[in-house]
Structure 1
Amino acid sequence: MRSPRLTLLLLLLFVALASFAQESSDQKALWYEYTLHAPLSKNWFNETELMERHLVDPFLQSQFFIRTRFHKKVTPFFNYGLGGSMFLFHIPTGSDLSNFNLPELRPQGELNLRAKVAGISVNNRLRGELRFFQNTNLEYTASESGFNFTAARIRYRLQAILPLANLKDEKSLKLKIANEIMAMGGGDLEQLAFDQNRISADLSFSFSAALSLDLGYVNWHQARIHGGYLDQHILRTVVKHQLKSAKK
């Protein structure tokens, strides 16, 4: 009889590969992230992320963003969050790869549900976001006033966290496997259509209850506007900082 662990891993792999049927081009990238988790009260907490993204060849800034959300715990296994993010997209505008950073604002909301299956933590996240890009001139060399509603995007992520080792002094090693699929519609896009799929695997080492480090790989499979697909092969580093609850 197939074990629940194997079934879950096969499901993640199947969902990740389902959209990889058409020809695609490749890129390599590096992501660096810092995440701060701050309890605000018994039922509320804030999570803030800062991330820098670089392409490898040529080594060039791709994106920078800051994202913050305020979550309410409804049960020990379910919470919802409201917040937003600001992205800066680096757009090379000449042979010297001079900088032009295109701002984007994304108000968002999400639902998070987690469970335990055969000792594995299973996390479900459903996120919705609205995408507003700053207006620019036609050459993408200067910003203009106002933001344009480009699309609404819905994202679903299924993540499995497998404990590998429990060490002394709250140290531990875990394996995180996830798949996230996204679709966009409305705004300039009108009909809902596939946007991208991300499959990832990370080793997560907890130094203490307050600090952990994730090292992993992400495959970003994205539909291009003019047809075809882009695959980014990404090495990701994430530092997570968990603040203690305030004393009563």
Structure 2
Amino acid sequence: MNIKLLGVIKTSVLLLTCYFGATGLLTGQTKSPPRPEGYWLSYFGDNKINSRIGIHSELQLRSFLMPHAMQTLLARAGLNYYIRPYAMATAGYGYIYSVPSGDEVAGSQLSEHRIWQQLLLRQKHTHIFMDHRYRLEQRFINNLTTHTSQLDHRLRYRFQALFPLYSIDPHLRHWFLAFNNEIMINLKKEPSRLFDRNRLFAGIGYQVSPRMNFQLGYLNQYAQVPGNSRPHIDHVLLLAVSYNMDDLMQSLYRKKPE
């Protein structure tokens, strides 16, 4: 494995270990209020226009039409630039709309316009497919309940690993295990509000074709909500569909010349 990539992995693992250690100390002192279970339905797509440029599309429905939960619609689009076979930069726009499903659900009706920039690095080690995603966001948030607005900045890092169970040929259908963890940090905030949330996902997936796969699993979201001293924990059933008409994943399958 490339020495630089190995260094990135070691650093990422160290940071995540430190984070979970700090989180464990926090939860040991402060009990989190129970949150209702929910579900997320997600679609992700990357479609190439030419060898350098592509389009990213994304749609998420979070706990839609579910009672006793915050309902969220997220739509995101972006322009991909393929730097190298395993590296891609993206810039785009997202719209997010959230509303409580009932009067008994705490929260406000929110709309958000989000500008984002992203770097995605993918790699393969033995039979494991990994990626590192770095994302910067500028969030224009409108509270439709209190008629207030604010501008926030957020930094996100996600590590993902896919473990094929019996086949790594992209032209054969196969099952795989999926794991990812994403931490989000608020920028330009007081130290007590730097941490925004962490999302941990584990599930199983099915590779339908070289371009499409499905993933189903459990997502745990640990969030620090402004104005609340106790963190919120969400337990989510997640179903995701990915359709990628690019060469990033397929290039990882190709054997290097001996």
Give the TM-score normalised by structure 2.
0.76
SS of 1:235's equivalent in the other structure is strand
Larger relative helix fraction: 2
Aligned to 1:223: 224
1:21 pairs with 2:30 = no
Residues 94 and 119 (structure 1), Cα distance of their counterparts in 2 relative to 1, 3 Å cut = closer
Unaligned regions of 5+ residues in structure 1, if any?
Answer: 139-143
Aligned residues: 228
Residues 16 and 57 (structure 1), Cα distance of their counterparts in 2 relative to 1, 3 Å cut = farther
Aligned-residue identity in percent:
23
Separation of aligned partners in 1, 2:133 and 2:241: 20
What is the CA-CA distance between 1:164 and the residue it aligns to?
1.1
The superposition leaves residues 106-135 of structure 1 with CA deviations (integer Å, 9 ceiling, x where unpaired) of 100011112222331221111000111125
Separation of aligned partners in 2, 1:92 and 1:29: 12
Separation of aligned partners in 2, 1:93 and 1:58: 7
Q: How does 1:139-218 map to 2 (within 5 A)?
A: 148-166=149-167, 170-186=172-188, 189-190=189-190, 193-218=194-219
Q: Say whether the 8 Å CA contact 1:26–1:233 is kept in structure 2.
A: no
Q: How does 1:41-190 map to 2 (within 5 A)?
A: 41-54=50-63, 58-60=67-69, 62-91=71-100, 94=103, 101-136=109-144, 138=146, 148-166=149-167, 170-186=172-188, 189-190=189-190
Larger relative strand fraction: 1
What is the CA-CA distance between 1:74 and the residue it aligns to?
0.8
Residues 81 and 150 (structure 1), Cα distance of their counterparts in 2 relative to 1, 3 Å cut = same
Aligned to 2:237: 235
SS of 2:17's equivalent in the other structure is helix
Q: Say whether the 8 Å CA contact 1:159–1:177 is kept in structure 2.
A: yes
Deviation larger for 102-111 or 169-178:
169-178
Q: Say whether the 8 Å CA contact 1:16–1:179 is kept in structure 2.
A: no
Residues 164 and 56 (structure 1), Cα distance of their counterparts in 2 relative to 1, 3 Å cut = farther
Deviation larger for 234-243 or 49-58:
49-58
What is the CA-CA distance between 1:91 and the residue it aligns to?
3.0
Q: Say whether the 8 Å CA contact 2:116–2:135 is kept in structure 1.
A: yes
Separation of aligned partners in 2, 1:149 and 1:54: 25
Separation of aligned partners in 2, 1:42 and 1:221: 39
Give the TM-score normalised by structure 1.
0.79
Unaligned regions of 5+ residues in structure 2, if any?
Answer: 1-5, 248-258
What is the CA-CA distance between 1:167 and the residue it aligns to?
8.3
State the one-letter code of the partner of 1:39: K
1:35 aligned to which of 37, 44, 56: 44
What is the CA-CA distance between 1:233 and the residue it aligns to?
0.9
